[in-house]
Amino acid sequence: MGLQVALEPTNLFFCLVGVTIGTLIGVLPGIGPLATISILLPITFKAPPLSGIIMLAGVYYGALYGGSTTSILVNIPGEAASVVTCLDGYQMARQGKAGPALGIAAFGSFIAGTLGIVGLMLAAPPLARLALQFGPQEYFSLVILGLTMLTFLARGAMWKSLTMAAVGIFLGCIGVDVMSGSERFTLDIMEFADGIGIAPVAMGLFGISEVLLNVEQSIERSIFKTKIKHLFPSLRDWADSILPILRGSIIGFFLGILPGGGAVISSFISYAVEKKISRHPEKFGTGVIEGVAGPESANNSASAGAFIPLLTLGIPCNPVTALLLGAMIVFGMQPGPLLLTQHPDLFWGTIASMYVGNFMLLALNLPLIGIWVRILKVPYAILFPLILLFCLIGVYSINNSITEMLMMILFGIIGYFFKKFEYEAAPLILALVLGPMFDVALRRSLLTSAGDITTFITRPISAVLLGSALVILVFPLLPWFKKKRNEIADLKE
C-alpha cells in the first residue's frame, strides 16, 4: 500500500522536488534543512497533505546527502551532520581521491538510508501498539525525557539548554488554552490567539539569525580544484568501507530514535567508533575512507530512525522532526499510535516515499556533482538576499500577516544574540512544539489523580521515562562529584 501511494505521480514529483532542494541546501553552507523546511512550510499548505510531508521529509534526508559534497570539496560542512566528514573527506580530496570520497559518501548514505527505512518498517508497528497504553502521565514523562536528552546532547552548558527548553514551554502556552478556552499572554494581538506560530519562530531563529551572523563575516570559499573522477568506488574502497557503513547504519538508527539524538551526534559517535576499532587509528584525519563511510552512513540512518517516535508516538526527537510534526498537525494528520490504524496510507506512504527518495538521491548526487560544485561558487552576497526574501515571502504567505513577518524578524534578532551568548535554539523549538502537549498532559494528569504527583512514578512506563531523564540530568555531575570526593579524601589524609 505504501509503495502504491508513494509511486503516485504527484507524490513522486513532490519527492523529487524535496530531495533536490534538500541536496541543494545541504551543499550550500549557511542554510540548513531546518530553515529550509521552515521556508517551504507555507508553500506546502497548498499541496495535498501527504505530498507536502513527503516533500519536507525529502528536504530533511536530502540535506544529509548534499552536506557531504561541501565537506569533501571545500572543507566547510554544508550541514551540521557533515562536520565530521570534513576531517578525512577533505584530506582525500587533497590527495586526488575526491571522486571515491564523494562516491562512497553517496553509496553509504543510500545503503544506510535503506537499512534505516527497513528498521523503521519493522519497529514502528510494535511501538505504535505499545503507545496505545500511553496516558497523559506517559506523554508528560516522554516530553521531559526528550527535552532532557536534547539538552544533554546540545553543545555548551546544560543549564543554558534547560533554560531554552523552559522558555519554549512558556512560549508554547501562549494562545487560547484548549482545556478552558481562555486566552493566555496574547497581549490582545489577534495572531497570538492560535499560539505563537512555529514557522515564524523557526525561520527567525534558524534562517534569519544565521544570515545575520554570516553577513558579519567575510567568508571566502575556495573550492579545492581537482578533477573529480572515478566516482564509483573501487573494490578496495568497498572492502574498507562496507563494515563502517553497516556499523554506522546501526549506530545512526538507534541514536536517531532517541529523543534528543539525531544525525549530528550519530556522525560523531560513528567516527569515534571507527577510529577506536581501526587497526590504524593514527591515520584518521589524514584521509581514510572509513572516516567518510561511517559518519555519512550514520547520519542518514539517523534520519530514518527519527521518524519512529514521530510517526508512532507523535513525539519529535529533534528540531527538524518537531517542524514536521507541526506541519502534520496543520495538514490535519495526527501522528501517534492511531495514525497506523486510522490512516495506514499516510503512514506507509511516508515510509515508502523515503525509500523512493533514497533512489532519487543516489541518482541525483553522483551525476550532478558538477552542478553542485558550480552552485558553491555563487557568492554569498547574492545568496543571502534570496534566502531572506524567501523567508519573508514564506512567512507572509501563511496568514497574510505583517505581524508574523515582524515576529520572524524579531526572533531572528533574538536568535542572533542567542548565538552570540552561546545559547542553542534547538531546545527552544522542540519545547515550543511540545509545549501545548506538555501543558495538557501535566494538567490532565494532576486533575485525574486529584493532585497526587506520585502518579508520574506509580505508572511503570512513566516511571521508567522519568527515571531515564533523571539519570541523564545527574550523569554529567558524576565526574565532578568524584573529583570533589577525592579532594576531600586527600584533605583528610
Partner 1 sequence: MFSRLNNDQWSSLFWFICGLVFCIASISHGVGELNNPGIGFTPFWAGFAISAFSVIGFVKSALKQREGVRWQSPLKGVMWWRALLTAGALIAYAFLLPSLGFALCTALCVSVLIRIGKFYRWPVAIVGGIVTAFATYGLFVALLKVQLPRGPWGF
Considering the complex, state which of residue 72 and residue 149 has its C-beta at the smaller distance from partner 1. Answer: 149
Stretch that binds partner 1, among 75-83, 168-176, 189-197, 300-308 (CB under 8 A): 168-176
With binding defined as CB under 8 A, does residue 409 bind partner 1? yes
Using CB under 8 A as the binding criterion, the count of chain residues that bind partner 1 stands at 62
Q: Check binding of 177 to partner 1 (CB under 8 A).
A: yes
Is the CB of residue 14 less than 8 Å from the CB of residue 62? Answer: no
**Ranges assigned E (strand) in 46-111:** none
Cell numbers linked to 255: 541514536
| C-alpha cell of residue 91 | 584530506
DSSP secondary structure, 277-308, as one string = H-S-GGGTTS--THHHHHHHHHHHHHHHHTHH
Give 152 or 384: the residue with its C-beta nearer to partner 1: 384
**Helix axes of 344-365 and 9-27: crossing angle, nearest 10 degrees:** 50
Q: Which residue has the cell 504527583?
A: 453
The answer to whether the CB of 230 falls within 8 A of the CB of 100 is yes
The sign of the CA dihedral 410, 414, 420, 426 is negative
- Name the one range near partner 1 by CB under 8 A: 131-139, 322-330, 331-339, 382-390: 382-390
* CB neighbour list of residue 361: distance below 8 Å, 6 or more residues apart: 19, 23, 61, 62, 65, 106, 109, 110, 113
Q: Contacts with partner 1 in 421-460 (CB under 8 A)?
A: 421-423, 435, 438-439, 442-443, 446-447, 450-451, 453
SS3 480: helix
Considering the complex, what minimum distance in angstroms separates the CB of residue 455 from partner 1?
Answer: 11
How far is it, in rounded angstroms, from Cα 198 to Cα 201? 5
Helices (H) and strands (E) in the chain, counts: 24, 2
**Interacting residue with partner 1 among 7, 12, 43, 242 (CB under 8 A):** 43
Q: Is the CB of 164 or the CB of 340 nearer to partner 1?
A: 164
- CB–CB of 82/297 below 8 Å? no
User: Binder to partner 1 among 279, 282, 332, 381 (CB under 8 A)?
Assistant: 381
Query: Out of 389, 470, 471, 474, which residue is the one contacting partner 1 (CB under 8 A)?
Result: 389
Closer to partner 1 by Cβ: residue 232 or 481? 481
Q: Rule CB under 8 A: choose which of 380, 434, 466, 472 binds partner 1.
A: 380
Which positions from 191 through 210 interact with partner 1, judged by CB under 8 A?
Answer: 208
215 is an interface residue for partner 1 by CB under 8 A: yes
**Shortest Å, Cβ 435 to partner 1:** 8
**Cell reading at 378:** 555563487
CB of 270 to partner 1, least distance (A): 31
Phi and psi based region of residue 69 (left: phi greater than 0; alpha: psi -120 to 50; beta: remaining): alpha
Is the Cβ of residue 163 or residue 226 nearer to partner 1 in the bound state?
A: 163
Please identify, using beta-carbon distances, which residue of 95 and 448 lies nearer to partner 1.
448
Distance CA 284, CA 38 (A): 36
Interface segment toward partner 1; rule CB under 8 A; list 12-20, 273-281, 288-296, 391-399: 391-399
If 0-12 CB within 10 Å is exposed, 13-18 middle and 19+ buried, where does residue 279 land? exposed
Instruction: Report the alpha-carbon distance of residue 70 to residue 89 in Å, rounded.
Output: 10
Binding piece for partner 1, criterion CB under 8 A, among 29-37, 82-90, 112-120, 215-223: 215-223
Give contact residues for partner 1 (rule: CB under 8 A).
43, 46, 157, 159-160, 162-163, 166-167, 169-170, 173, 177, 179-180, 182, 184-185, 208, 211-213, 215-218, 379-382, 384-386, 388-389, 392-393, 396-397, 400, 402, 405-406, 409, 412-413, 416-417, 420-423, 435, 438-439, 442-443, 446-447, 450-451, 453
